[in-house]
Chain A
Amino acid sequence: MSREPDVLFDVLGPRGRQRTRIATVVVVLVLAALLWLALRQFAVNGQLDGAKWQPFTSPPILRFLLVGLGGTLQATVVSALLAFPLGAALALLRLARSAPLRWPAAAYVELFRALPVLLLIYVFLLVLPQLGVRLPLFWQLVIPIVMSGSASAAEIFRAGVLSLERGQSEAGYSLGLSYWQTMRLIVLPQVLRQLLPVLVSQLITLLKETTLGYVVSFPELLHNGQTLGEYTQTLIQAYLVVALVFVLTNAGLSQLAVGIDRRLGTRGRRAPGSAGSASGQQRPGLQVRLDA
């Protein structure tokens, strides 16, 4: 299977390659110097002492961090499982023909896209209890994240649907499929495939938003790391460990997306966007066979 050529950059000539090599060396040197400075600063202040890192080798403390990671992942997964389908549904409602469907969806999206998650959390934490509604910690965190995340996802899905060639849905309608069937069977599968990278970064955003769990004292990774750092007086080390776990988790998610994309790679490519083909100028006979 051959890939489409990288259209962003021309292939470099000899002078370009020379310049790239020099730039690479300079950047590596600068990064190394910065790292060395940082480590020296840590060492001077005794932050690299074995004793400061000792706690992070003890099983009970690791277990406590793992519980935090578990909380983070659980909140992220539940948020994503609710926010993405809800976002897709909102996008389709907002694109529907009938105004009574369109308006509420548009209002919801515009409202919750504008409000910070923290503010929504405060509503669930401080305002609702006064009205006699008190939710479990987990939901005090997850519901605000879902409200805001579904609004963002809705806009992503809507843009994706609009970018798909209109002929795809028209072909669906002309077979006698309903609007919802056309969206579910024809439009969304193609849009999802195309949006995969964006949805992964959206997932990472959700994951990071779960760190707002400290506001409601939900035991997620950052919250547990902080508690631990304060308890063992190794706040810096705790934050570094937590940061490393976040980075690894997110790298894992990105890798997952690459894997999915590759598995789908041998399947059909999505239809071209509406821009090029509405005029019928396209020559499909020439653009095919990349996969063959």
Chain B
Amino acid sequence: MLLRMRGVSKSFGQHRALDRVDLDLARGEVVVVLGPSGSGKSTLCRCINRLETVDAGSIELDGEPLPQEGKDLARLRSQVGMVFQSFNLFAHMSALDNVTLGPIKVRRLGREQAQRRAMDLLERVGVADQARKYPAQLSGGQQQRVAIARALAMDPKLMLFDEPTSALDPEMINEVLAVMVELAASGMTMLVVTHEMGFARKAAHRVVFMDAGRVVEEATPQAFFTAARTERAQDFLAKILTH
């Protein structure tokens, strides 16, 4: 198992955002996480690269428990790529500099080598011609693709996507999903929070449904979308399908 979560709980004050979550990801597996708002999907992602600390349970990446602090924690984070709902590109840097920052400062790569690789990645996500532009000069879809290139530049073992397309205008959603589908096909291990069923059907090996901080149901996309077992999942699907 590349990622192994056991009994992970996390509370904010009185509120339990994660409640004894067990989750495994095999190498190369693509898992889509679904669930109503507030069910703990973002918290799940954030706990995996320790942007949130957990209260109980264990998380292991590649057989190693998550380090708590310092250099080891930074090293762990550099192996886990994260793509945010609001892109979070560094606003004062060009697209190219966004992508080369990690390799240069964390991996100590030479600037020239980092730039060559960054250009390849920007090419791969289809925004190489925008490399010199600043984030404010790019469309949302372009920004998110640069953000994906930035995460890929660290050669992550695992990529986390937290609703990568939900801040995008409809016409830009597909360009980002296409990049993610290609990434999934290339064998990347991915944990994707998204309500895009098209992506789940096309690229996911497994769907995980969360509610109130718990993993309520796990199934293949096919099984889940056609015949969800739990009532909550059926309610949820009915709601997103009517949209």
Contact = CB atoms under 8 A, between A and B. Distances in A.
The judgment on whether A and B are partners is: yes
Interface of A: 165, 167-168, 170-178, 181, 185-186, 189-190, 193, 267-271, 277, 280, 282-286, 288-292
Nearest to A287: B136
Contact of B74 (A168, A178, A289): A178
B85 to A, nearest CB: 5
Given A280-B85, A280-B86, A175 B77 contact: yes
A283 B49 CA distance: 26
A168 B91 contact: yes
14 contacts: A170-B88, A171-B89, A173-B51, A174-B49, A174-B81, A175-B78, A175-B154, A176-B75, A185-B101, A268-B92, A270-B91, A277-B86, A280-B85, A284-B87
Interface stretch (B21-29, B167-175, B218-226): B167-175
Contacts of B74: 173, 176-178
Contact of B102 (A175, A189, A290): A175
Nearest to B162: A280
Residue of A167, A283, A284, A291 contacting most chain B CB atoms (<10 Å):
A284
B236 interface: no
Interface residues of B, number: 46
A285 B92 contact: no
Contacts of A280: 85-86, 163, 166-167
B136 A269 contact: yes
B138 to A, nearest CB: 7
A205 B93 CA distance: 32
A170 B77 CA distance: 11
Interface string B71-113: 1001111111110111111111110000001100110000000
B136 A291 contact: yes
A88 B77 CA distance: 26
B91 A283 contact: no
Given A269-B91, A292-B137, A285 B168 contact: yes
Contact of A284 (B49, B80, B143): B143
A291 B134 CA distance: 9
A6 to B, nearest CB: 19
Contacts of A270: 91-92
Contacts of B79: 176
Residue of B75, B90, B101, B105 contacting most chain A CB atoms (<10 Å):
B90
Interface string B46-90: 000101000000000000000000010011111111101111111
A288 B138 contact: yes
